[in-house]
Chain A
């Protein structure tokens, strides 16, 4: 059991070190050569970004970590979806351009926040429990800005812009569903074992480490990157 939880923890941490995320270079070339609506390719890119975008996934793992009922999972994930869809659409359509490093640092903060929340840190230290649904919605808004900056890196043509963003967004939701299903299966299996609650605290510490790492990575990128 110890081994299983260690593997799970390592799986959470490893992708965080592996690569910077964003739309890959070849995909970018494709986006810039677009002439109009390209529904399926944009959906694919959205899904790919979500499945390989470890920052969104870390946050979602934190959110559903202690959600046992499917109803709750659906509710919280819906709030997250509403949040990031609003800012993805508004960001790209309205031309609101956030600094990608700072937005990604806030996304890292959302992971730390959720891990701290899962450790019951707010009640222990501050004597109250902030509304968990509101937190998911608000951090969802920041995640959407992060998604928007990824698309804004490329000069998407005005022609067919709405269709392309909506396709990307739908792809994001599909990718999220796929990733969540995998995470839920792993978590459900783990919960049937006696070690889950014993290792829950450690796992959230690992989550928090991943969050801190994302913050440091993005903030130092903001300060140091010349590219």
Chain B
């Protein structure tokens, strides 16, 4: 076996020199590791160098407490209580529709919905100020979803559901939160204009004490 890559060297270092070099390499690496990497990356400070050089701060900053929670929204007209919604919705084969809650920025809600079959869905919000058309929270396929949402902007927040199957499905939504209204947005075929228009169907909301 010839090694073309080693034949060009003019000097062949002595064993002693190689051993010394390896020893120095190991010593420098160990020194750097213990004095700087230990405190900066792992928060260990055996020699006190991390404190002296301020490297421990790096560890603490990265380990750091989670970012501070967003300040409580200073809405002046804070509602006395939250609203509760339980709605049964039907979705014919190949059809799609949306269901949305009106929420102010910073308002929260919890939700859960189930469908009697697999649907394609997108959980999203549309801001009133139209700075962006739509913000998608989740795009998925499944027969249920649940979670919590804090509205990042004032507008309508809810789901788009699409039934890819060939039978009618029922979707049951249960939500509680500081939304002010709920409505169903159904595309309805307009035979006169020969195109879909969106029909808005408001839903009744109740309060938890009822």
Interface size grouping (class) on chain A = 35 or more
Alpha-carbon distance A163/B71, docked complex (angstroms): 43
Q: Which residues of B contact A220 (CB under 8 A)?
A: 33, 37-38, 42
Partner of B6, one of A115, A120, A201, A224: A120
Alpha-carbon distance A224/B28, docked complex (angstroms): 21
How many residues does chain B have at the interface if contact means C-beta atoms less than 8 Å apart? Answer: 33
Alpha-carbon distance A178/B91, docked complex (angstroms): 54
- Are the CB atoms of B8 and A120 closer together than 8 Å? no
Q: Which residues of A contact B11 (CB under 8 A)?
A: 197, 201
Q: Is A208's CB within 8 Å of the partner chain B?
A: yes
Q: Is A179's CB within 8 Å of the partner chain B?
A: no
Q: Which residues of B contact A68 (CB under 8 A)?
A: 8
- Are the CB atoms of B10 and A131 closer together than 8 Å? no
Q: Is B1's CB within 8 Å of the partner chain A?
A: yes
Instruction: State which residues 1-40 of B face A: CB under 8 Å.
Output: 1, 3-6, 8-15, 17-18, 21-22, 24-26, 28-30, 32-33, 36-38
C-beta contact mask, B122-142 vs A, less than 8 Å → 1, else 0? 000000000000000001000
B179 to chain A, nearest CB (A): 26
- Are the CB atoms of A205 and B21 closer together than 8 Å? yes
Q: Which residues of B contact A206 (CB under 8 A)?
A: 25
Q: Is B63's CB within 8 Å of the partner chain A?
A: yes
B207 to chain A, nearest CB (A): 36
Q: Which residues of A contact B8 (CB under 8 A)?
A: 66, 68
Q: Which residues of B contact A112 (CB under 8 A)?
A: 25
A43 to chain B, nearest CB (A): 24
- Are the CB atoms of B18 and A212 closer together than 8 Å? no
Extra inter-chain contacts (11) besides given A72-B4, A120-B9, CB under 8 Å: A76-B5, A116-B22, A119-B13, A120-B6, A120-B12, A201-B11, A205-B21, A212-B28, A213-B33, A217-B37, A225-B42
Q: Is B203's CB within 8 Å of the partner chain A?
A: no
Q: Is A10's CB within 8 Å of the partner chain B?
A: no
Instruction: State which residues 121-167 of A face B: CB under 8 Å.
Output: 121, 124-125, 129, 131-132
Q: Which residues of A contact B86 (CB under 8 A)?
A: none
Q: Which residues of B contact A204 (CB under 8 A)?
A: 21
Partner of B14, one of A124, A205, A213, A215: A124
- Are the CB atoms of B9 and A200 closer together than 8 Å? yes
- Are the CB atoms of B25 and A132 closer together than 8 Å? no
Q: Which residues of B contact A (CB under 8 A)?
A: 1, 3-6, 8-15, 17-18, 21-22, 24-26, 28-30, 32-33, 36-38, 41-42, 44, 63, 139
Which residue of the partner chain A has the closest CB to B33?
A: A216
Alpha-carbon distance A66/B4, docked complex (angstroms): 9
Partner of B41, one of A20, A67, A209, A211: A20
Partner of A17, one of B1, B15, B17, B37: B37
A221 to chain B, nearest CB (A): 7
Q: Which residues of B contact A193 (CB under 8 A)?
A: none
Q: Which residues of A contact B26 (CB under 8 A)?
A: 209, 212
A158 to chain B, nearest CB (A): 13
Q: Which residues of A contact B12 (CB under 8 A)?
A: 120, 124
- Are the CB atoms of A216 and B29 closer together than 8 Å? yes
Which residue of the partner chain B has the closest CB to A16?
A: B32
Alpha-carbon distance A211/B24, docked complex (angstroms): 13
Alpha-carbon distance A209/B63, docked complex (angstroms): 28
Q: Is A99's CB within 8 Å of the partner chain B?
A: no
Partner of B21, one of A67, A201, A213, A227: A201
Given contacts A120-B6, A201-B13, A217-B37, contact A125 B29 (CB under 8 A): no
Q: Which residues of B contact A216 (CB under 8 A)?
A: 29-30, 33, 37
- Are the CB atoms of B28 and A66 closer together than 8 Å? no
Q: Is A188's CB within 8 Å of the partner chain B?
A: no
Instruction: State which residues 185-204 of A face B: CB under 8 Å.
Output: 197, 200-201, 204
Q: Is A181's CB within 8 Å of the partner chain B?
A: no
Q: Which residues of B contact A124 (CB under 8 A)?
A: 12-15, 18
